[in-house]
Chain A
Amino acid sequence: MTMRSALAMRAPRARQSMPQRDMSELAGLLPRQQLRRFIMPVSLGLILSLLVLLPIFFMFLGALRSAALADPAGHFTLVKLRQVYTTLPYLRMLGYSLAISGGVAAMATAIGVSLAWLIARTDIPAKRLMEGAVMAPLFLSPFVGAIAWLILASPRAGVLNVIVSELLGTRAFSINISSPGGILFVMTLYYIPYAYLTVSASLRSIDPSFEEASYLNGAGVLRTALRITLPVVRPAILSAFFFIFVLTIGTFAIPAVLGRGAHVPFLAVDIFEATTNYPIDYGKSAAIGTLVFWISLAGVSFYRYASKAARRFVTVTARGYRMRLVRLRGARIPAVLLVGVYVLLAIVLPYLALIYAALTRFTTANVLSAPWTLQNMVDVLTAPEVTESISNTLLVGFITPTLCIALGVCLAYAIRRLRVPGGRLLDYVAMFPVGIPGIVFATGIFWTYLLTPIYGTIGILIVAFIAAYLPFAYRIGDTALLQIDRVLEEASSLCGASHWRTASKVTLRLMRPALLSAWIMVFIFSVREVSAAILLTSSDNIVLSVLSWNYLDYGDVQKAAVIGLLQTVILMIGVVIGRFVLRVRLSRPA
């Protein structure tokens, strides 16, 4: 296809040599092709500019303004930037944010790698169940998890703390989840699956003879794992580290929920605080946004470098090779227990706590003896703002993935199949949001659409979400397209099918499984997204995650818990429909 594009761009020559009779047949072809080659990239470029480039531009512009862009009293100033980049409170916050993000990335990667090795390389029993258990938190909301851990381990009324003190008769062993350590712990819990996915894919694709050669040279299991297996997948481990680092630095929900009482400084939280706490300062919020933007950009560069190296190590081995599995023998039970503890901490305990808080009259005074009641449920489910936010959530949850996947497929098709001019640029811009945290993006979206009618509607949420998840949709569309042998499309052309018929009857049909799974994933992301939504919220476009945040903000943990459960039910319905009705394989990383 390189040929074709190169040729089509070349001006046709030597007209005089073509007999008149043949002209009529050939003449009509070139202009239409040129139209497609011009209109496709230009319109896709415009959409991407609106979605991706404009918000980033406006965020930087906003950081330079003394007041909102529309405010006639506003002027350009460097005060905000100087404040954020050079003064002590912000540098301290930067230090905290980097330390927590680095810690989370290191711990989640270490645990994720261990779990990946156990499940991919040893004879741990019930592998599929184990893998499902490790991946399950991917389909849940970390924000809801944070609320649950607040119920479990807040210093005074945390259910776990109360149980322990009742049992031991002392408060000496109290856990304080509202602390830097607590934030580190809960974030690690919910980011382990990302490390697991990245590294296990790599572990499964290395040549088993690397390890076999090590055994034959007399090395034992541990030595082989540490000296051969891990070094071979080191690039994948590094890319998992930087991926989680970027995810963490931009995470709003967990540090906001857990750090509120304890005043743990965190950049992503302060972006939001600057827009809600007095004195409200949108310029400062944008300025902090630019700081997080640069950190993320650096993280993503490292990530890209590492994952490029990771692909180099991947070897395609002949089929029929069976991986020799490490026999755990006596260590089988501890290995299963390790996975069990993870599931207990990430899923079982949090949801027990949510259910407990939702179904009792839970106050700090009666943590363990709270009377059971359905009143919370009834209160929440009958509140008008809840029914409205359910329908908003579902609307956003359906429109976002649909448009996002459609745009991603168009981009992938134009870039990979039609090889439109400027394809590399389109590719770069489409992947750009991957490194921009939702809350940073929302800052830009906020500045961009402040004065437009779309501001304050669910439309602005959809715009923000589409931009944020476009890299995911585009990447999946691209991978799916890459796996479809061109020959299948060529066979269709030779049967007389037009371009459109080939695309719809062959290409899209074959991409369908991948696109459905991407749809379900973007649905999940959209339903649970907090950080991009919270900056753009208004009374008209409130979604469940934001409502849950609001309840928590008013101190009503029970209502927040009910909303969290409700959100989880919606997510589970999405996963179940995807998995069992549409038979989608949901094992792609975000």
Chain B
Amino acid sequence: MAQLSVRKLVVNYGNVTAVDGISFEAQAGEFVSLLGPSGCGKTTTLRCIAGLESASAGEIRIADRVVAMDGREVPPEKRGVNMVFQTYAVWPHMSVFDNVAYGLRTHRRPVPEVAVRVAEALQMVGLSGFESRFGTELSGGQQQRVAVARAIVMAPQLLLFDEPLSNLDAGLRERMRFELVTLQRKLGRTSIYVTHDQSEAMVMSDRIILMNGGRIVQQGSPRDLYERPVSRFAAEFVGSANLLEGTVVAQHQAGYRTIRVGDGIELRGRPARTDEPAAPDGRVLVCIRPENVQVVSDNPDGDNVFPARVARVSYLGAALNCDLSLGTTVLRVDLPTRSGLSEGAEILVRIDPDDVTIVPDDA
């Protein structure tokens, strides 16, 4: 039984379609991210699940109970879900304790139970001892933790996160990512997490739903999305990628194909999806991740070995980020720092055919 099921959800604002008929499910205990650029409909989808926004059409079920269908809906307070907001929404006129206790008191839980459950929730987020502070006396990270405690204290059927880390500074954001994931694993609550930060989605999610223009582009595990993007958008949005336009010139066993790109370079690779229908004119995109290009010594065997000239080198500490010219084709690659390349060097590079992903050219 899916904990959350969204079917053919449509949201229109006047003439604008923010969400265009998307369907997905989340299993119990799963951590699912809605990832996409701003305006892709991810936040609108999340707010529809929460009941804060009305669906124009479609159906939403939470724990197999219909909460929205054909414009009728269960109001947010009766859905048994809770949300961590981007701006935290910690009530400034209440103490930390009152903030977290709010939902329990709303449901008229007995005083001793409220005290115990609030203490548990605060301990869980590492805010024990802050009970009597007010929202305005807390740092951004602490407000974030209050918001999380307030969301988990009610043991909701769904935990919703609306870009909760985007207002934190970089260091804290990294730390909170891991804390949130650890907490979610410990609680085992089904979580839907909205973000525009692909690295955040990669680190945290069991499954990523990539959205663009109100539709789902691709969904799958982080590895799936990174290694086998289904379109130019998916390849560009998740991680960085060299995308080269080319044409299929030969087909081989086990799905490998030879693609000609640029001024005659022939690359061997394979499609992201085995069931991919080839475009009639054979035009495709080739996706090569920067870390998948290796420098090799003279005279190696195998496919995809090319001479290259180092056109630019930037020192990044962990790696050297270089532009390599393969004839007229330029690849941006990450090479080990110890390779010690300098601009103008002539080298040989090899790209494993399994790392050359063929993507349909949809643009």
The interface of chain A, by Cβ under 8 A from chain B, is 2-4, 7-8, 10, 12-14, 17-19, 22, 25-27, 29-30, 485, 487-488, 490-498, 501, 505-506, 509-510
Does A493 lie within 8 Å of B106, measured CB to CB?
no
| Option from A14, A25, A30, A494 in Cβ contact (under 8 Å) with B66 | A25
A29 and B82 alpha carbons, distance in the complex (Å): 21
Q: A26-B69, A510-B91 are in contact. List 11 more A-B contacts (CB 8 A).
A: A2-B13, A3-B13, A13-B71, A26-B73, A490-B85, A490-B89, A491-B83, A491-B85, A494-B82, A496-B103, A497-B106
Does B54 lie within 8 Å of A29, measured CB to CB?
no
Given contacts A4-B54, A496-B154, A497-B77, whether A14 and B89 have CB atoms under 8 Å apart is no
Contacts of A10 in B (CB 8 A): 71
Say whether B65 faces chain A, with CB atoms less than 8 Å apart.
yes
Given contacts A2-B13, A22-B66, A506-B91, whether A492 and B102 have CB atoms under 8 Å apart is yes
| Option from B50, B72, B87, B89 in Cβ contact (under 8 Å) with A30 | B72
Closest A residue by C-beta to B68: A26
Does B103 lie within 8 Å of A495, measured CB to CB?
yes
Closest A residue by C-beta to B153: A495
Does B66 lie within 8 Å of A495, measured CB to CB?
no
A495 and B101 alpha carbons, distance in the complex (Å): 10
Does A485 lie within 8 Å of B89, measured CB to CB?
yes
A413 and B13 alpha carbons, distance in the complex (Å): 23
A29 and B86 alpha carbons, distance in the complex (Å): 29
Between A and B, 21 residue pairs with Cβ closer than 8 Å are: A2-B13, A14-B70, A17-B69, A17-B70, A18-B70, A18-B72, A22-B69, A485-B87, A487-B86, A490-B83, A491-B85, A491-B147, A493-B51, A493-B76, A493-B77, A494-B77, A495-B102, A495-B103, A495-B150, A496-B107, A497-B103
Contacts of B53 in A (CB 8 A): 3-4
- Distance of A364 from chain B, by nearest CB (Å): 59
- Distance of A358 from chain B, by nearest CB (Å): 45
Does B71 lie within 8 Å of A12, measured CB to CB?
yes
Q: Which of B36-60 contact A (CB under 8 A)?
A: 50-54, 56
A495 and B107 alpha carbons, distance in the complex (Å): 9
Given contacts A4-B54, A487-B87, A494-B76, whether A26 and B150 have CB atoms under 8 Å apart is no
Given contacts A491-B89, A496-B103, A497-B102, whether A25 and B74 have CB atoms under 8 Å apart is yes
Contacts of B106 in A (CB 8 A): 495-497, 501
Does B93 lie within 8 Å of A13, measured CB to CB?
no
Does A510 lie within 8 Å of B92, measured CB to CB?
yes
Contacts of A509 in B (CB 8 A): 93
Which 5 residue pairs across A and B have the least CB separation, nearest first? A495-B103, A491-B89, A22-B66, A487-B89, A493-B76
Say whether B230 faces chain A, with CB atoms less than 8 Å apart.
no
- Distance of A27 from chain B, by nearest CB (Å): 8
Given contacts A3-B11, A3-B13, A490-B52, whether A495 and B71 have CB atoms under 8 Å apart is no
Contacts of A19 in B (CB 8 A): 66
The interface of chain B, by Cβ under 8 A from chain A, is 11-13, 50-54, 56, 65-66, 69-79, 81-83, 85-87, 89, 91-93, 102-103, 106-107, 147, 150-151, 154
Does B77 lie within 8 Å of A498, measured CB to CB?
yes
- Distance of B118 from chain A, by nearest CB (Å): 12
A509 and B53 alpha carbons, distance in the complex (Å): 24
Does B54 lie within 8 Å of A3, measured CB to CB?
yes
A13 and B50 alpha carbons, distance in the complex (Å): 22
Does A490 lie within 8 Å of B72, measured CB to CB?
no
Contacts of B82 in A (CB 8 A): 494-495
Contacts of A2 in B (CB 8 A): 13
A29 and B50 alpha carbons, distance in the complex (Å): 16
Does A29 lie within 8 Å of B102, measured CB to CB?
no
Does A26 lie within 8 Å of B81, measured CB to CB?
no
A492 and B98 alpha carbons, distance in the complex (Å): 12
A4 and B72 alpha carbons, distance in the complex (Å): 10
- Distance of A135 from chain B, by nearest CB (Å): 28
- Distance of B322 from chain A, by nearest CB (Å): 38
A461 and B327 alpha carbons, distance in the complex (Å): 90
A510 and B83 alpha carbons, distance in the complex (Å): 21
A12 and B150 alpha carbons, distance in the complex (Å): 35
A22 and B62 alpha carbons, distance in the complex (Å): 12
- Distance of A41 from chain B, by nearest CB (Å): 20
Contacts of B50 in A (CB 8 A): 490, 494
Contacts of B74 in A (CB 8 A): 25-26, 29
Contacts of A8 in B (CB 8 A): 54
A121 and B2 alpha carbons, distance in the complex (Å): 63
A2 and B74 alpha carbons, distance in the complex (Å): 18
| Option from A26, A485, A492, A510 in Cβ contact (under 8 Å) with B72 | A26
Given contacts A3-B54, A491-B150, whether A496 and B89 have CB atoms under 8 Å apart is no
Closest B residue by C-beta to A26: B72
Closest A residue by C-beta to B101: A495
Contacts of A501 in B (CB 8 A): 106
Given contacts A487-B89, A496-B154, whether A29 and B77 have CB atoms under 8 Å apart is no
Contacts of A3 in B (CB 8 A): 11-13, 53-54, 56
Does A488 lie within 8 Å of B91, measured CB to CB?
yes
- Distance of A520 from chain B, by nearest CB (Å): 20
Given contacts A25-B65, A496-B106, whether A12 and B72 have CB atoms under 8 Å apart is yes
Does A29 lie within 8 Å of B72, measured CB to CB?
yes
Does A7 lie within 8 Å of B54, measured CB to CB?
yes
Contacts of B12 in A (CB 8 A): 3
A509 and B107 alpha carbons, distance in the complex (Å): 20
Contacts of A496 in B (CB 8 A): 77-78, 103, 106-107, 154
Does B93 lie within 8 Å of A12, measured CB to CB?
no
- Distance of B179 from chain A, by nearest CB (Å): 20
Given contacts A494-B83, A496-B106, A510-B92, whether A29 and B75 have CB atoms under 8 Å apart is yes
A29 and B53 alpha carbons, distance in the complex (Å): 15
Does A7 lie within 8 Å of B76, measured CB to CB?
no
- Distance of A480 from chain B, by nearest CB (Å): 13
Closest B residue by C-beta to A21: B66
A418 and B232 alpha carbons, distance in the complex (Å): 43
Contacts of B83 in A (CB 8 A): 490-491, 494
A4 and B75 alpha carbons, distance in the complex (Å): 11
- Distance of A214 from chain B, by nearest CB (Å): 36
Contacts of A497 in B (CB 8 A): 77, 102-103, 106
Contacts of A29 in B (CB 8 A): 72-75
A22 and B67 alpha carbons, distance in the complex (Å): 9
- Distance of B52 from chain A, by nearest CB (Å): 5
Closest B residue by C-beta to A10: B71
Closest A residue by C-beta to B66: A22
- Distance of B163 from chain A, by nearest CB (Å): 12
Contacts of B89 in A (CB 8 A): 485, 487-488, 490-491
A7 and B78 alpha carbons, distance in the complex (Å): 19
Does A487 lie within 8 Å of B75, measured CB to CB?
no
Closest B residue by C-beta to A492: B102
Contacts of B54 in A (CB 8 A): 3-4, 7-8
A29 and B68 alpha carbons, distance in the complex (Å): 11
Closest A residue by C-beta to B107: A496
| Option from A7, A491, A494 in Cβ contact (under 8 Å) with B71 | A7
Contacts of B81 in A (CB 8 A): 494
Contacts of B78 in A (CB 8 A): 496
- Distance of B68 from chain A, by nearest CB (Å): 8
A543 and B247 alpha carbons, distance in the complex (Å): 92
- Distance of B158 from chain A, by nearest CB (Å): 10
Does B52 lie within 8 Å of A493, measured CB to CB?
yes
Does B85 lie within 8 Å of A487, measured CB to CB?
yes
